[in-house]
Structure 1
């Protein structure tokens, strides 16, 4: 099947890890991820008897190998200067934002400029997006996962 790209916008909160956890909970509850029944992966929301917990979901061998092709495949936002590792989300640094978007204060208008910063499967990125007054407004999570 190959890796799938995914992206999400959520309301801003200063704790990026808490924002990621809340987003993962929402995506899981809504069944907005790929899940296999037999050989073919399908959207989990098509199955009323899909796994009831994330633990149950990730106990499935197919999910362990193939992933969910969603934000569920990443589990933690990295701290500053921490090296990216499998299943982690790296915030866009001020230097990266300035290099690719020409500003350190990103907005929705900069999404196309920063999308290329997520280029490796099984890793995610996130960026704080600001409103026209420069106030943090949203967090953008995006990446690629799944096999």
Structure 2
């Protein structure tokens, strides 16, 4: 199947990891992810129902291998001194934003240029977006995952 790109924008909250966890719960509850055991490519009588919890979803070996092609494939936002690793989300730091885009007050208008930020498959990124007055307004999550 190959990896899929994904992106989400959520209201700002200071705790980026809490925002990620809330978003993951919402995406899971809405069923907005690829469910490898219930895909349209399977005959209808062979499709399995979606798991009732995130924990059960990740117990499935096929999901562990293929992922969900969504924000569900990353588990935590790392701190500024941590090294990005498989299934983590790396925030865009102010210095990185200044070096790449000339400002540390990112807005929705900058999102189209976010390809300048290094990223790896199965490692998400996030950035705080500001309103016209320079106040934190939203958090933008993006990445690509899945096999």
In 2: Cα distance, 1:83 partner to 1:36 partner: 30
Are 1:97 and 2:97 an aligned pair? yes
- State the TM-score, normalizing by the size of structure 1: 0.91
Corresponding residue number in structure 2 for 1:26? 26
The structure where strand makes up a greater share of residues is 1
Deviations for 1:22-69, whole angstroms, at most 9, x for unmatched residues?
A: 000000000000012367679xxxx89311001111111110100000
Gaps of 5+ in 1: none
The 1:57–1:131 alpha-carbon spacing in structure 2 relative to 1, beyond 3 Å, is same
Corresponding residue number in structure 1 for 2:115? 115
Corresponding residue number in structure 2 for 1:7? 7
The 1:48–1:65 alpha-carbon spacing in structure 2 relative to 1, beyond 3 Å, is closer
RMSD across aligned C-alpha pairs, in angstroms?
Answer: 1.9
Corresponding residue number in structure 1 for 2:142? 142
In 1: Cα distance, 2:79 partner to 2:19 partner: 14
In 2: Cα distance, 1:85 partner to 1:40 partner: 32
Deviations for 1:77-123, whole angstroms, at most 9, x for unmatched residues?
A: 01111100100000001121112221000000000112342531100
The 1:130–1:3 alpha-carbon spacing in structure 2 relative to 1, beyond 3 Å, is same
8 A Cα contact 2:69 2:146, kept in partner: yes
Corresponding residue number in structure 1 for 2:75? 75
In 2: Cα distance, 1:113 partner to 1:38 partner: 35
8 A Cα contact 1:9 1:141, kept in partner: yes
8 A Cα contact 2:38 2:49, kept in partner: no
